[in-house]
Amino acid sequence: MMKRPEILAPVGDAERLDAALLYGADAVYLAGQQFGMRAAPSNFTEEELAAAVQKAHAAGVRVHVTVNVLPRGRDMEMLPSYLAYLQEIGVDALILADLGAMALARQYAPNVEQHVSTQMGVVNYETARVLYEMGAKRVVLARELSMEEVAEICAKAPSGLEVECFVHGAMCMGFSGRCMLSTYLTGRDSNHGECAQSCRWKYRIIEEKRPDAIYGVEQDETGTYFFNAKDLNMLDHVAELATVGVRSFKIEGRAKAPYYVAVTTNAYRQAVDGFMASGCAPDYRPEPWLSEELYTISHRPYSTGFYYGHPDQHTASNSYIRNWQVVAIVKGYENGELLLEQRNRFCVGDTLTVLPPLEKPYDIMVASMTDGEGESIDCAPHPQMAVRLPFDRELPIGTMFRRKV
């Protein structure tokens, strides 16, 4: 029987961690406030890291910590104590992108699994084998590989080496994330967690001898946008990824909102569970509503990346498609009422969608509600105000309500 692939969810702070745990992650990846490739999220202090590991483990979920910057000399002096601390608090895996950092991890955190980051650009089975011999338990493959190349690495890599692949989220115009555009244009080192997303900017071309003539970079029969990539979406292909041997399905997005974490984790969790329930049928396809869910989150146009040949990868817009917003979060249940915390304005008469964990979302109409003091109200206009909503069932704390905008 095929082992069920792991759903690996992105976590940028404690609220995102709660969303990942509630909506079905097998493992989460997150960062401390140094050495991670995403400086934009608030990330976790050392005390918060310890609490996050304890909470995740209590839920039966593994914790992988990113130590995947390309470290400079000054970083190497600070790494040993940080690695030792991560082992002390019980982190399950380190995501590493540098051979020197791997050597230090073997010395200062020998009991923690080493996962080789996509930043290292693993594109063949021989590199995978060498990394395994150096102590790697898992390799996160480069995002530029085809399905055939992924299958070959899975088939020819050592049997004890796990393969992880990205299945969803933003793509980078640099090879496996190794891009210098942000560093060159802004001085913010993209390989040190400070990417300015320069690939999403709007560019024009100026020819040196004609400075007054500014040309647009347009997508037509003769050209295309150079840098701005579509988002990856492999939900409909979980069966093929699992069948070729991918052990972990990684969702990009540590800087994304808790709603993004909840919806993507929920969709891939249910798709993988459906695949396993099918007897691992190679032609399994998730139910259509799961795919539709991924269009309710903030996203760019989707593609399947490089998995199926040369991608139609570039998109003319640098903006996100945003059609839905979270309006409330469940905080409890008593006396036939849900206790909600408002996140965006909603009113009596509105149609809301409930997102129960590991279930199909469904719509309700708000017939009545009261404030935290039990006074009847027509609208919930204030951020984080308490709302009591008559409801026929208890929902887990953290369950989200949304509406289309």
The answer to whether residue 99 is domain-embedded is yes
pLDDT value of residue 43:
83
- Of 210-219, 224-233, 263-272, the range with the lowest mean pLDDT is 210-219
The answer to whether residue 308 is domain-embedded is no
pLDDT value of residue 50:
98
Which tens digits make up the pLDDT trace of 106-133? 999 999 999 999 989 999 999 999 999 9
Any idea which residue has 């304890």 for tokens?
54
Q: What's phi and psi for 22, nearest 5 deg?
A: -70, -40
Inform me whether the pLDDT recorded for 97 exceeds 80: yes
Same domain, 131 and 259: yes
Measured N-to-C along each axis, helices 99-108 and 73-88 cross at an angle, to the nearest 10 degrees, of: 40
Inform me whether the pLDDT recorded for 223 exceeds 50: no
Same domain, 280 and 333: no
> Measured at the alpha carbon of residue 258, what is the angle toward residues 256 and 261, in degrees to the nearest 5?
75
Same domain, 101 and 242: yes
- Of 72-81, 90-99, 102-111, 151-160, the range with the lowest mean pLDDT is 72-81
The pTM (predicted TM-score) of the whole model is 0.88
Inform me whether the pLDDT recorded for 220 exceeds 60: no
Inform me whether the pLDDT recorded for 194 exceeds 70: no
Read off the pLDDT of each residue in 294-322 and give the average, rounded to a whole number.
81
Read off the pLDDT of each residue in 314-319 and give the average, rounded to a whole number.
62
pLDDT value of residue 176:
59
Same domain, 296 and 331: no
Same domain, 170 and 279: yes
d(CA 28, CA 251): 10
Task: Copy the structure tokens of residue 61.
Answer: 């979920």
Spatial CB neighbours of 10, under 8 Å, sequence gap ≥ 6: 16, 20, 28, 29, 30, 169, 251, 252, 253, 254, 256, 261
Same domain, 162 and 238: yes
The answer to whether residue 17 is domain-embedded is yes
Three-state secondary structure call for residue 58:
helix
Strand order in the sheet with 337-342: 362-365, 351-355, 400-404, 324-334, 337-342, 386-390, 370-371
pLDDT value of residue 392:
94
Inform me whether the pLDDT recorded for 229 exceeds 90: no
Same domain, 162 and 84: yes
Read off the pLDDT of each residue in 75-100 and give the average, rounded to a whole number.
95
Same domain, 398 and 249: no
Handedness of CA 235, 239, 242, 244 (dihedral sign): negative
- Of 83-87, 133-137, 209-213, 254-258, the range with the lowest mean pLDDT is 209-213
Same domain, 329 and 381: yes
Q: What is the CATH number of the domain that holds 386?
A: 2.40.30.10
Q: Say what the alpha-carbon torsion angle 236, 242, 243, 245 is, to the nearest 10 degrees.
A: 140
Whole-number mean pLDDT of the chain? 89
pLDDT value of residue 216:
62
Read off the pLDDT of each residue in 206-233 and give the average, rounded to a whole number.
68
Read off the pLDDT of each residue in 224-238 and give the average, rounded to a whole number.
82
Return the biggest CA–CA distance within the chain: 76
Same domain, 330 and 299: no
Read off the pLDDT of each residue in 283-296 and give the average, rounded to a whole number.
97
Confidence of residue 363 (pLDDT cuts 50, 70, 90): very high
Read off the pLDDT of each residue in 368-378 and give the average, rounded to a whole number.
95
Confidence of residue 71 (pLDDT cuts 50, 70, 90): confident
Confidence of residue 222 (pLDDT cuts 50, 70, 90): very low
Residue type, 5: P
pLDDT value of residue 320:
73
| Percent of the chain residues topping a pLDDT of 90 | 73
Alpha-helical (H) ranges within 278-324 are 288-293
Read off the pLDDT of each residue in 323-347 and give the average, rounded to a whole number.
97
Q: Do 340 and 330 touch, CB atoms closer than 8 A? A: yes
Inform me whether the pLDDT recorded for 158 exceeds 80: yes
Q: What is the CATH number of the domain that holds 13?
A: 3.20.20.70
Same domain, 299 and 328: no
Inform me whether the pLDDT recorded for 203 exceeds 80: no
Domain that holds residue 97: 6-175+228-303
Total domains in the chain come to 2
Same domain, 379 and 267: no
Domain C-terminal end among 273, 303, 333: 303
- The residue with greater pLDDT, 280 or 312, is 280
pLDDT value of residue 224:
46
Of 331, 326, 328, whose CA–CA distance to 397 is shortest? Answer: 331
pLDDT value of residue 211:
77
pLDDT value of residue 86:
97
| Percent of the chain residues topping a pLDDT of 70 | 84
Domain C-terminal end among 255, 273, 303: 303
Which tens digits make up the pLDDT trace of 51-67? 999 999 999 999 999 99
d(CA 72, CA 258): 32
Task: Copy the structure tokens of residue 247.
Answer: 């052990």
